[in-house]
């Protein structure tokens, strides 16, 4: 029997204007690498020992060729929306013009979605920075923010009214901290003097693009997608609580506070000068451009204790964990949403990513991913709780439509509600996908 997903009968999440969707990202699914410029993830994949299984994104789910069947698949799930990202190196040439072939690729996809009445949630940057821009310094170079604005300008004009919602960036924390501070993501730079600088240029890019989107696409809902890993103290001691608070400011509030309060968390002053971002006059006003929505990505929480040398240390996540080692702790999601809502004056929220890596097995064409269904159920409940506490949440996106290239984990971690056989490129809807479909159609 297929396990079911359900919500209380009076839940706001069962009304038709609550949007359900599935999400993907260009580099993780497309392949089609010959038809675009190289990006930082190509280079990272080609560097030994960076991606666990030594894989790359040259083919991925071959969505570049199989997009029609994938859109039929999305339609068959009955979702209201599809969150996809645009590959910057596919649509913009080295000299900064639109690449008509790349633009057409997305125009046909957006038209197909429109014809099927599926809302397009477009993310402009899900980590695939053109390599030639990295060669000029990437996100450490302030110029990249202006290049991003120009890309946002050209592409939003080309897309016209096909897009329901634009997100400028996906998870600037990952781009800056993982990519430029600890180097586990592309471009693999390591140094505390890099992380905050990259983050500032990413946030500046967001602000500059928001102004452009507001002008070119005033009817779409324009905003940003941030990830949150709520920070909990290991014990009730003041020292552990302080450690967790510092970590929260460093990893979470660092990215949202500039956008909604126009300033960085006060820990900025505690960082050595050489670790601080280069903030120019007027930057914070640009960064805090109003947004129509906030996208929240949530997977797990983290636990911290105090440390003599560092401001905090993270302790190993306790069980239960998903296949990627992330603790399953849905309460952190409702607490997060309520806290954010108290702390900031926020626009409506979409949960733009949530899901679980499970070591799926396909047996006679069936994937019994009961643990994933359970994960979804717990997190849908947590969102429902937050809504009951007054948080304005307008939609939910399962990560991911299908199994795909999970960054430094390669193809070893499966997050899809659809199973992908990478040899045959055959897709099979998992039981979680069937449960999601039933939840949506039973509204």
Tokens of 362: 């396909």
174 binds ligand FCB (CB under 6 A): yes
Beta-sheet pairing, 313-315 with 302-305: antiparallel
Other C-beta atoms within 10 Å of 236: how many? Answer: 7
Which residues in the 355-374 window bind ligand FCB by CB under 6 A? none
Which of 134, 245, 353, 406 is an active site residue?
353
Q: Which stretch binds ligand FCB (CB under 6 A): 89-97, 167-175, 203-211, 279-287?
A: 167-175
Minimum separation from the CB atom of position 413 to ligand FCB (A): 8
Q: Is residue 171 a contact residue for ligand FCB (CB under 6 A)?
A: yes
Neighbours of 158 (CB within 10 A): 17
In angstroms, give the least distance from the CB of 332 to ligand FCB.
Answer: 16
- Site string (269-308) toward ligand FCB, x via CB under 6 A: ----------------------------x-----------
Q: Which helix (H) or strand (E) holds 417?
A: none
CA distance 334 to 380: 10
Q: Does 170 bind ligand FCB (CB under 6 A)?
A: yes
Give the SS3 label for residue 168. Answer: strand
Q: Which segments of 211-283 are extended strands (E)?
A: 221-228, 231-233
- The rounded distance, in Å, linking the Cα atoms of 111 and 104 is 10
Tokens matching residue 153: 């300008």
In the block, residue with structure tokens 């999970």? 406
3-class SS at 24?
coil
392-431 binders of ligand FCB (CB under 6 A): 399, 406-407, 415
44 binds ligand FCB (CB under 6 A): no
Q: Which is nearer to ligand FCB, 306 or 404 (CB)?
A: 404
**Contact call for residues 72 and 101 (beta carbons, < 8 A):** no
Asked whether position 66 contacts ligand FCB by CB under 6 A, the answer is: no
177 contacts ligand FCB (rule: CB under 6 A): no
Is 25 a binder of ligand FCB (CB under 6 A)?
yes
Tell me if 227 contacts ligand FCB by CB under 6 A: yes
The verdict on 184 binding ligand FCB (CB under 6 A) reads no
353 is catalytic: yes
Cα distance between the two ends of the chain: 21
Q: What residues pair up with 418 in beta bridges, in sequence order?
A: 429
Active site residue 364: no
Catalytic residues: 171, 353
Residues in the site for ligand FCB, rule: CB under 6 A? Answer: 25, 28, 170-171, 174, 227, 297, 353, 399, 406-407, 415
């Amino acid at each position: 029997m297929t396990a079911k997903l359900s919500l209380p009968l009076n839940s706001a999440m069962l009304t038709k204007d609550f949007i359900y969707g599935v999400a993907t990202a260009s580099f993780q699914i497309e392949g089609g690498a010959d038809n675009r410029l190289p990006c930082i993830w190509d280079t990272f994949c080609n560097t030994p020992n960076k991606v666990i299984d030594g894989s790359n994104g040259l083919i991925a789910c071959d969505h570049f060729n199989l997009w029609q069947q994938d859109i039929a698949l999305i339609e068959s799930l009955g979702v209201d929306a599809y969150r996809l990202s645009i590959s910057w190196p596919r649509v913009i040439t080295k000299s900064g013009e639109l690449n008509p072939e790349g633009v057409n690729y997305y125009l046909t996809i957006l038209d197909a979605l429109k014809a099927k009445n599926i809302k397009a949630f477009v993310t402009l940057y899900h980590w695939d920075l053109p390599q030639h821009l990295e060669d000029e310094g990437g996100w450490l170079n302030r110029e990249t923010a202006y290049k991003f604005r120009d890309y946002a300008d050209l592409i939003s004009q080309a897309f016209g009214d096909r897009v329901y919602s634009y997100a400028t960036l996906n998870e600037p924390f990952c781009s800056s901290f993982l990519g430029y501070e600890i180097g586990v993501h592309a471009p693999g730079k390591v140094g505390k003097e890099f992380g905050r600088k990259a983050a500032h240029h990413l946030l500046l890019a967001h602000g500059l693009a928001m102004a452009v989107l507001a002008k070119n696409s005033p009817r779409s809902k324009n905003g940003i997608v941030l990830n949150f890993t709520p920070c909990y103290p290991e014990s009730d001691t003041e020292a552990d609580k302080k450690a967790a608070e510092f970590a929260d400011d460093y990893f979470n509030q660092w990215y949202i506070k500039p956008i909604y309060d126009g300033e960085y968390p006060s820990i900025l002053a505690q960082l050595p000068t050489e670790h601080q971002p280069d903030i120019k006059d007027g930057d914070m006003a640009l960064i805090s451009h109003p947004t129509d929505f906030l996208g929240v990505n949530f997977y797990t929480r983290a636990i911290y204790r105090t440390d003599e040398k560092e401001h905090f240390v993270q302790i190993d996540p306790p069980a239960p964990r998903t296949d990627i080692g992330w603790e399953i702790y849905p309460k952190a999601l409702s607490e997060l949403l309520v806290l954010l809502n108290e702390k900031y004056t926020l626009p409506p929220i979409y949960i733009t990513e949530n899901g679980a890596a499970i070591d799926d097995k396909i047996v006679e064409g069936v994937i019994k991913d009961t643990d994933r269904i359970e994960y979804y159920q717990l997190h849908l409940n947590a969102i429902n709780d937050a809504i009951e506490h007054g948080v304005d949440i307008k939609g939910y996106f399962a990560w991911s439509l299908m199994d795909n290239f999970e960054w430094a984990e390669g193809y070893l971690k499966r997050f899809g509600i659809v199973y992908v056989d990478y040899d045959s490129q055959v897709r099979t809807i998992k039981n979680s996908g069937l449960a999601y479909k039933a939840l949506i159609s039973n509204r």
